[in-house]
Amino acid sequence: MFKLSQTVNLLLFFSLAFAGLYFAAEYLIPLTLAAVLAMLFIRLSNLIESKGVGRAYATLYCILLFVVAVAVIITLLSIQLGSLAENIDGMERRLVAMLESMKQWVNETVGIKKAEQNKLIKESTNGKSGGMILTFAAGLMGIMVNTILVLVYMYLFLSMRGHIKKFILKLVPKKEGADTTEVIHQTGKVSQKYLSGLATMIVVLWIMYGVGFSIVGVESALFFAVLCGLLEIIPFVGNLTGTGITVLAVTAQGGDGKMIIGVLVTYFLVQFIQTYILEPLIVGEQVNINPLFTIMALVLGELVWGIAGMILAIPLLGMLKIICDSYPELQPYGYLIGPENPKQPKTSVIDYFKKWFVKKT
């Protein structure tokens, strides 16, 4: 009876916590994103400080490095987007032709005449253009404000990490201080390894998608390669979205069926290499979560915090698992979140080559 009551109280706590996360999303998203990114730069900041640089300056160097990296990516995308805009007129004509063909198909299949379709389209978009412009401007302003907040929070988290760690240690008894220190260390380590491995994998994906799309003949291949790679930060959904956008762009560019098949073949080939070589070799199983809870975390993250929730769901769930594994009362939940066979490593092409080489030698 006691265990049942404890489980009910825990479920009630999670329900209230998710409700709070949902209603406080505007405040918590920049704060949480900055905290996760700050964990990524802890090791670099420690390295700079070991050279005799003060913590404030070491933190500032890390923030500047992050800003430069983001600026390089945005510049690369804007350059490629500029070259893509040169062909925008031709793409617009092809899209209009495709729309007319679709209207003709609806007329012949459903029986709705083109005039009625145009009327419905006009009514659905009438009076909304001004609202769309205002919404876009407000969204752009919100992104700028949140970006500044994230950078400020990152600086403060990195510069005050010792103070925050001491605060957490003061919350627990002194005899549990060593165990709590290890939990803090392992929690930060998960975020560092996952994000650094993910960043490395994205760079490799840029190269593979860029080569593949260039061979296929996609216009502005580098732009779509960078786009597909960046969308990889959203597991499962991002790669499908990026490939779908590329297929639509190829169609609008006037690409034939062979080019579309080439894009799809590139996608499946990259996914094969990513699943069986890149992830075991670069990312590994740092988060150590089973597929069921991975998908559940992504769906719940999208419901609570939107795209930002999908990006943060995996590293946050990995940290939650470490906390659960460290306390006996929560270990059943850590076991539930974890993989079914945690001791069995993920088989990869690298493993097959290693076994083959051992047998031959």
Tens-digit pLDDT profile for residues 271-280:
888 777 777 6
Specify whether 211 is located in the same domain as 304.
Answer: no
Specify whether 276 is located in the same domain as 298.
Answer: no
| Mean pLDDT over each residue of the chain, to the nearest integer | 77
Specify whether 59 is located in the same domain as 166.
Answer: yes
Specify whether 201 is located in the same domain as 250.
Answer: yes
- Among residues 285, 307, 328, the one where a domain terminates is 285
143 occurs within a structural domain: yes
pLDDT at 345: 45
> Regarding predicted confidence, which is higher, 64 or 286?
64
15 occurs within a structural domain: no
Specify whether 36 is located in the same domain as 166.
Answer: yes
pLDDT tens-place string over residues 238-272: 777 888 888 877 777 766 778 888 888 888 898 88
Taking residue 69's Cβ as centre, other Cβ atoms within 10 Å add up to 11
78 occurs within a structural domain: yes
Give SS3 for 205: helix
- The band of 135, judged by pLDDT with boundaries at 50, 70 and 90, is low
| Interacting residues of 41 by C-beta distance below 8 A, sequence separation 6+ | 62, 65, 66, 154, 158
pLDDT at 101: 67
Q: What is the mean pLDDT of residues 171-175?
A: 80
Question: Domain limits at 140?
Answer: 29-109+133-171
The total domain count for the chain is: 3
- Do 319 and 40 form a contact (C-beta atoms < 8 A)? no
Taking residue 224's Cβ as centre, other Cβ atoms within 10 Å add up to 24
- The band of 181, judged by pLDDT with boundaries at 50, 70 and 90, is confident
pLDDT tens-place string over residues 286-344: 567 777 888 888 888 888 888 888 888 888 888 888 888 888 878 888 888 887 765 54
Specify whether 275 is located in the same domain as 298.
Answer: no
Residue 96: pLDDT over 50 = yes
- Among residues 265, 285, 305, the one where a domain terminates is 285
pLDDT at 80: 67
Q: What is the DSSP letter of 277?
A: I
**What span, in angstroms and rounded, lies between the C-alpha atoms of 257 and 251?**
9
- Do 305 and 20 form a contact (C-beta atoms < 8 A)? no
Residue 217: pLDDT over 50 = yes
Give the percent of the chain with pLDDT over 70: 70
13 occurs within a structural domain: no
> Regarding predicted confidence, which is higher, 136 or 26?
26
51 occurs within a structural domain: yes
pLDDT at 293: 84
- Do 203 and 229 form a contact (C-beta atoms < 8 A)? yes
pLDDT at 184: 81
Say which amino acid occupies 134. Answer: L
Specify whether 231 is located in the same domain as 247.
Answer: yes
- The band of 346, judged by pLDDT with boundaries at 50, 70 and 90, is very low
Task: Give me the residue label for tokens 């769906």.
Answer: 299
158 occurs within a structural domain: yes
pLDDT at 65: 92
- Among residues 171, 197, 219, the one where a domain terminates is 171
- The band of 100, judged by pLDDT with boundaries at 50, 70 and 90, is low
Residue 2: pLDDT over 80 = no
> Regarding predicted confidence, which is higher, 164 or 290?
164
Specify whether 224 is located in the same domain as 101.
Answer: no
356 occurs within a structural domain: no
Which of 74, 77, 41, 73 is closest to 60 using CA atoms?
41
What pTM was estimated for this model as a whole? 0.71
Specify whether 274 is located in the same domain as 318.
Answer: no
Give SS3 for 337: helix
121 occurs within a structural domain: no
Residue 117: pLDDT over 90 = no
